Amino acid sequence: MQEGAKPAAREVLTAAWPVMLSYVAVGLPCGVLAAKAGMTPLMNFVLGFSYLSGGGQFMMSNLWLAGAPLGSIIASVAAISTRFALYSASLAPHLKRFGRRQSLAIACCYTEEAYGITLSRLASGETWTAGHALGLNVCVQLTWALSCAAGAALGSVVDIPTAIAGFAMTSLFIYLLYSQPHTRGTACAALGAALTVALCKWSGLAGVAVPLAALVGVGAGMASGLAPRRRNGNGSAPAAPAAGGDAR
């Protein structure tokens, strides 16, 4: 049994270590920013290990430091956390071969990266058990929590400008946006959200800018997907390319 556990642990660590390194790089500034908002290293560790959204943690600290109302902070974090419902829906078909306890072990602490790795392994038919998934979840989540706690400890003794730590969140979301498929829906969602934030700032409604922008962005992306396909001048749909021809 121990011999079988070693290859499994090695496989989990092979999949986990790139994510763990990236979590250290992002978790440290997240902890620094949280320390600026008044959170202790222990509070950061507990929050980092029990809460799934790193972007949500950045958002909490940023909005708190900006003086946003508590209701706006809750609505903003809830809005960006709705993506986990989509993760669950895409993963559910692959969990049919697992029992309830195993499914719970797989889904107990799902972050984006752990979700992506497990979904890819299950969809490709590779050997990936509930133990693999749980081990991966624990490794990356523990790394994130420890990194946030270390960042909070660093931020309490070293005066790091809030703007520098806060930009980590901006750069994170820029990267996430760039990594999305370059489609009309993505462009409409990004443009709608950016315009909403700008209009809210100009009109003095900064407190509702983030949650409202999230809703407008999602709505714009969905609307672009429902828009009818471009038609020819005579009103008919464009003809499909001939077999073997250039589809461009």
Per residue in 174-202, pLDDT tens? Answer: 666 665 667 887 788 888 888 988 898 78
**Do the domain assignments include residue 239?**
no
**Do the domain assignments include residue 247?**
no
Confidence bin at 43 (pLDDT 50/70/90): very high
Task: Tell me, yes or no, whether 98 and 129 share the same domain.
Answer: yes
Q: Can you give the pTM of this predicted structure? A: 0.66
Domain that holds residue 190: 180-228
Instruction: Specify whether the CB–CB gap between 61 and 36 falls below 8 A.
Output: yes
Predicted confidence (pLDDT) at residue 5 exceeds the cutoff of 70: no
CA atoms within 13 A of residue 33's CA, in its CB half-sphere = 26
Task: Tell me, yes or no, whether 61 and 138 share the same domain.
Answer: yes
- Residue 155: which of 23, 25, 36 has the closest Cα? 36
Task: Tell me, yes or no, whether 79 and 196 share the same domain.
Answer: no
Predicted confidence (pLDDT) at residue 225 exceeds the cutoff of 60: yes
Looking at residue 247, its pLDDT comes to: 39
